[in-house]
Homo-oligomer: A and B are copies of this chain.
Amino acid sequence: MLALRESALHVLLATLAAGPFTGWRALPGGRVQAGETLDDAAARELTAHSGLANLHLEQLYTFGSPERDPRGHVVSVAYLGLTPPRAATDPGPAGKYTALEWHPVAALPRLAYDHGAVVGIAAARLQAKLRYTNLAHALLDDTFTLADLQSVYETVLGRTLDRRNFRKKILALGWLRPLDRKRRGPHRPASLYAFRDRSPREVDVLR
């Protein structure tokens, strides 16, 4: 589960209460139940642990090296989840974990199993898909300013973008619907926007 908090990429980590890595941090997860789709299992596990629901979840990669779990040969199907800011608060302890907390990806503790590598692959996938899809919607609340949206791109891509060029390009894509509302604040109010459509769209680029 990835989210942006204070302009930094964060990942939701669990503290393990049992097993060979007791006390270590790891990605939350669980087993597929009989008669259940992999997608369903990922959504069920996520909701059970964190209360988060209805978020973007997509299959990431399947890990099956025999030595990844000291207890035996386990195959794990990793999922990439994305959370908008309003849902990205620490859920606290739940079920089999003694804690569930957001950690900045740039400064992670050592993770149990091969989960450190999993986070790296997830971040790379997010960065790649942001370049050619409308996936940014999954990291934003329903309404947002263009500055918010630009911040998503800048944080994930790891560099700054020219504000005028960004606005031109992103508006030309036609993905956004301008709202009649403004976000008030200490300075000039910013126009609010929403995505017209959250279903996947591909494009030729935001470099």
Which residues of A5-50 are within 8 A (CB) of B? 32, 34-38, 41
Top 8 nearest A-B pairs (CB, nearest first) are A38-B64, A62-B62, A35-B66, A62-B77, A37-B65, A34-B73, A59-B62, A37-B64
| A to B CB contacts below 8 Å, 21 in the list | A32-B64, A32-B75, A34-B66, A34-B73, A35-B66, A35-B73, A36-B66, A37-B64, A37-B66, A38-B64, A38-B65, A38-B75, A41-B64, A59-B61, A59-B62, A62-B62, A62-B77, A64-B77, A75-B75, A75-B77, A204-B207
Which residues on the B side are within 8 Å of A32 (C-beta)?
A: 64, 75
Using CB atoms and an 8 Å cutoff, list the residues of chain A in contact with chain B.
32, 34-38, 41, 59, 61-66, 73, 75, 77, 204, 207
| Copies of the polypeptide in the assembly | 2
- Additional 6 contacts, C-beta under 8 A, given A41-B64, A62-B62: A32-B75, A38-B62, A38-B63, A38-B65, A62-B77, A64-B77
A59–B61 Cα gap in the complex (Å)? 8
> Which residue of chain B has its CB nearest to the CB of A202?
B128
Which residues on the B side are within 8 Å of A66 (C-beta)?
A: 34-37
Whole-angstrom distance between the Cβ of A138 and the nearest chain B Cβ: 20
Whole-angstrom distance between the Cβ of A129 and the nearest chain B Cβ: 12
A63–B36 Cα gap in the complex (Å)? 12
Which residues on the B side are within 8 Å of A204 (C-beta)?
A: 207
A3–B63 Cα gap in the complex (Å)? 27
Which residues on the B side are within 8 Å of A75 (C-beta)?
A: 32, 38, 75, 77
A32–B124 Cα gap in the complex (Å)? 27
A32–B73 Cα gap in the complex (Å)? 10
Which residues on the B side are within 8 Å of A77 (C-beta)?
A: 62, 64, 75
